[in-house]
A and B are shown apart, each in its own frame.
Chain A
Amino acid sequence: MLDLASTNGQISQEQSLENSPLAIRGLTVSYGQKPAVFSVDMTVEPGKMTAIIGPNGAGKSTMLKAALGIVPPVSGQIQVFGKPLDAQRARIAYVPQRASVDWDFPTRVIDVVLMGLYRELGLLGRLRGDHKAKAMDCLDRVGMGDFATRQIGQLSGGQQQRVFLARALAQGADLYLLDEPFAGVDAATEKAIIGVLKSLREAGKTVVVVHHDLATVADYFDNVFLINTRKVAEGTVAEAFTAETLQAAYGGRLATAQVDQLALALG
């Protein structure tokens, strides 16, 4: 199995563990008997945009959820900015898959964004005008300012996705983890989202995205993490996103013609 990360050498791995926004070691997650993620190491580079890619059912989302403590791992260590996850929750923002919630829930767009301020507000903290102004500002950044008082069920899929991104922005984090933010959204939304993510990177934030569209990987991302239950490759797009690594990750599921085409596109 190809493992380009191992070429980094052990010493630099240990060093990067300390200041990596997200370092995963030996992560195994299992639903029932078969592991969904097996013994995966990942070291996210600070200030970069990283794509997690792999075929359907490769454990992309599961890995992200385990890294966030949403699903319990069988084994493995998670470090966020060199400390355990629980000590660093305020520095993480998370955008779940849009389809994971019931959009018929009785609430308005602005209320969803305000959920991003929970760590600031606490259990009973009073919601003040400046909290609302902050939430409005986040909605404006994703181009949804006009929809603040809409019921969330009235939004299109792309608009829902942007509201989720606005909620993550409200969290004011240093590390942004997004699960398939481009799945089933319109072109305008995709453009808006990638614009916001790039501006986060400009501001020195770290962005990790579970991504499915191989065609846009080279355009959008600095780094790539390829997974198919086990880690296949990790590194810059040039290092880790090659015809060989894709063949290794997708196996027969990617037609040879597709691989050739991608290889051509990648030069």
Chain B
Amino acid sequence: MSGEEFVPLSLTPLLIGIFAAVACALPGNFLLLRKQALIGDAISHVVLPGIVVAFLLTGAISAAPMMLGAAGAAVVAVVLIEAIRRLGRIEPGAAMGVVFTTMFAGGVLLLEQTDTSSVHLDVEHALYGNLESLIWLDAVGWSSLLDVQALAHLPVELPRMALTLLAVTLFIAMFWRVLKISTFDEGFARTLGIRTNLLGLALVITAAVAAVAAFDAVGSIIVIAMFICPPAAARMMSNQLEGQVAWSVGFAVLSAVFGYVLAGYGPLWLGAQDAVSAAGMIATVSGVILAVAARFGPCRTRSGAPVGV
């Protein structure tokens, strides 16, 4: 494919897909090891009441207030989940289930009570996003990457997702050591003076920010898949946290690139006419990678059971 075609039509969706996938996969590693991986699922559900409330408050369908509403709802959900988990002493999965179904249901009721004719909440959009439409029409080829005027018309999702990825990466790098200690052994971490409650909350809020930004750009299917599939596949490739995180980033990029290409050209190769959803294909590829890693990964056997005593 030539630059004149690739840069305007495929470069930006591809980059946004990669950034979104990596931004979700990075915190996903820790969430997975803390048995909180379902938080991606929870967040993508509670985004609905957040968006409805934002619409009720502003009366406008525009990106900024809706993202703020979604982020606010995600943070409320995360705090509620932590509170229910700690106060009710129940497993995180149950706490998430309670919170996200309740908030999602509340969002549906709220939507019903408002003037639904003016709120167009497209289920398809929420699930798959519109990755393919995030094109860069001002670009004429690779040279546009140096053209300030063309750069000014980049789809806003690209810098937004890049900034999100940067923030997520900084958080993980900054708190790597304490995240590792407290994920492995929370009690011990507390005796060291590490504020494990606060750290756990910061981790899920970071995940929530990544999820909301990615949800806006690429839909919830990718968010849910990327929190779980690349880290879970990576766990079977390495017995060290450092290795696991590196593999998960690799798998996330691989899913985004292969998923995007397969969605665009796969059906044509098979003789079909139309392309399929890139988001759906990216999520599917990540699932296939997980299946392959589960079958052939070098560290896939659970070795946790002690041999004798």
- Which of A5-13, A64-72, A228-236, A242-250 binds B? A64-72
Residue A41 lies at the interface, judged by CB distance under 8 Å to chain B: no
A175–chain B nearest beta-carbon distance, Å: 11
- A residues in contact with B240, CB < 8 Å: 106-108, 111, 151
CB <8 Å contact, B192 and A89: yes
Shortest CB-to-CB span from B299 to chain A, Å, is: 8
Could you tell me if A102 and B309 are in contact, using CB atoms closer than 8 angstroms?
Answer: no
A153 (CB) vs chain B CBs: closest residue: B303
**Bound complex: CA A160 to CA B29 (Å):** 24
With A105-B183, A160-B306: A70-B191 Cβ-Cβ less than 8 Å:
yes
Task: Please judge, given known A-B contacts A155-B306, A156-B308, whether A107 and B241 are in contact too, CB under 8 Å.
Answer: yes
Closest to B239 in A: A151
When the two chains form their complex, are residues B244 and A106 in contact, meaning their CB atoms are under 8 A apart?
yes
Contact bitstring A154-192, B, C-beta under 8 A = 1, else 0: 111110100000010000000000000000111000000
Q: CA A118 – CA B191 in complex, angstroms?
A: 11
**Do B303 and A123 touch across chains, with their CB atoms under 8 A apart?**
no
Residues in B whose Cβ lies below 8 Å from that of A103: 304, 306
Instruction: Flag the segment in B17-25, B170-178, B258-266 that touches A.
Output: B170-178
A104-B235 Cα distance, complex, nearest whole Å:
10
Give the number of residues in B that approach A within 8 Å (Cβ atoms): 33
A112 within 8 A of B: yes
A106 touches which of B175, B177, B243 (Cβ 8 Å): B243
A104 touching B302 by the CB < 8 A rule? yes
A92 and B191 in contact (CB under 8 A), knowing A106-B244, A115-B181, A124-B177?
yes
CB-based nearest A residue for B29: A106
Flag if A151 contacts B184 (CB, 8 Å).
Answer: no
Q: Could you tell me the distance in whole angstroms from the C-beta of A250 to the nearest C-beta in chain B?
A: 26
Cα of A89 to Cα of B192 in the assembled complex, Å: 6
Shortest CB-to-CB span from B182 to chain A, Å, is 10
Minimum C-beta distance from B232 to chain A (A): 12
Task: Write out, one digit per residue, whether chain A residues 51-75 have a CB within 8 A of any chain B CB (1) or not (0).
Answer: 0000000000000010011100000
A121 touches B306 (CB 8 A): no
Instruction: Tell me whether A157 and B309 are in contact (CB under 8 A).
Output: yes
CA distance in complex: A167, B181 (Å):
12
Is A21 at the interface (CB under 8 A from chain B)? no
**Chain B residues whose CB sits within 8 angstroms of the CB of A153 once the complex forms:** 239, 302-304
A101 touching B174, Cβ below 8 Å? no
Closest CB in chain B relative to A105 CB, distance in Å: 5
Assess whether B184 is in contact with A101, with CB atoms less than 8 Å apart: yes
Residue in chain B with minimal CB distance to A177? B191
- Write the nearest CB–CB distance from B301 to chain A, whole angstroms: 9
Q: Which 10 residue pairs of A and B lie closest in terms of their CB atoms, listed nearest first?
A: A153-B303, A104-B304, A151-B239, A94-B191, A157-B306, A89-B193, A157-B309, A153-B304, A68-B191, A70-B187
Measured CB to CB, the residues of A under 8 A from B are 31, 65, 68-70, 86, 89, 92, 94, 96, 100-108, 111-112, 115, 118-119, 121, 123-124, 151, 153-158, 160, 167, 184-186
Interface string of B183-196 (1 = CB under 8 A from A): 11101101111100
Asked if B254 CB lies within 8 Å of chain A CBs, one says no
Q: Which of B175, B187, B244 has the most CB of A within 10 A?
A: B187
Question: B284 contacts the other chain (Cβ, under 8 Å)?
Answer: no
B185 and A106 form a contact (CB under 8 A): no
Contact mask for chain B residues 36-72; partner A; CB cutoff 8 A; 1 contact, 0 none: 0000000000000000000000000000000000000
Contact A68 B181 (CB under 8 A): no
Q: State A117–B307 Cα separation when bound (angstroms).
A: 29
Q: B144 at interface (Cβ–Cβ under 8 A)?
A: no
Whether B309 lies near A68 (C-beta < 8 A) is: no
- Chain A hits for B307, CB < 8 A: 156
Say whether A94 contacts B188, CB under 8 Å. yes
Residue of A with least CB distance to B309? A157
Question: Smallest CB-CB separation from A101: which chain B residue?
Answer: B185
Across-interface contacts of A154 in B (CB, < 8 A):
303
Contact B177 A123 (CB under 8 A): yes
Among B191, B235, B238, chain A packs the most CB atoms within 10 A around the CB of: B191
A100–B187 touching, CB < 8 Å: yes
B127: interface (CB < 8 Å): no
User: Are B235 and A106 neighbours in the complex by a CB distance under 8 Å?
Assistant: yes
Contact status of A107 and B184, CB under 8 A, knowing A69-B190, A151-B239, A185-B309: yes
Proximity bits, B142-178, A CB within 8 Å = 1, else 0: 0000000000000000000000000000000011011
Chain A nearest CB, measured from B206 CB (Å): 16
**In this assembly, does B33 line the interface, its C-beta being within 8 Å of a C-beta of chain A?**
yes
Task: Determine the residue in chain A with the shortest Cβ distance to B237.
Answer: A106
A163 to chain B: closest CB distance in Å? 11
CA distance A142 to B308 in the complex (A): 19
Partner of B188, one of A104, A115, A157: A115
Taking CB as reference atom, which chain A residue is nearest B302? A104
Most chain A CB within a 10 A radius of its CB, from B193, B307, B308: B193
| Complex contact B188–A96 (CB within 8 A) | yes
Cβ-closest chain B residue relative to A65: B187
Cα(A100)–Cα(B184), bound, Å:
10
Q: Give me 12 other A-B pairs in contact (C-beta within 8 A), A108-B239, A158-B309 excluded.
A: A31-B89, A70-B191, A96-B188, A104-B303, A107-B240, A115-B181, A115-B185, A118-B178, A123-B178, A151-B240, A151-B299, A186-B308
Docked Cα-Cα span, A86 to B183, in Å, equals: 22
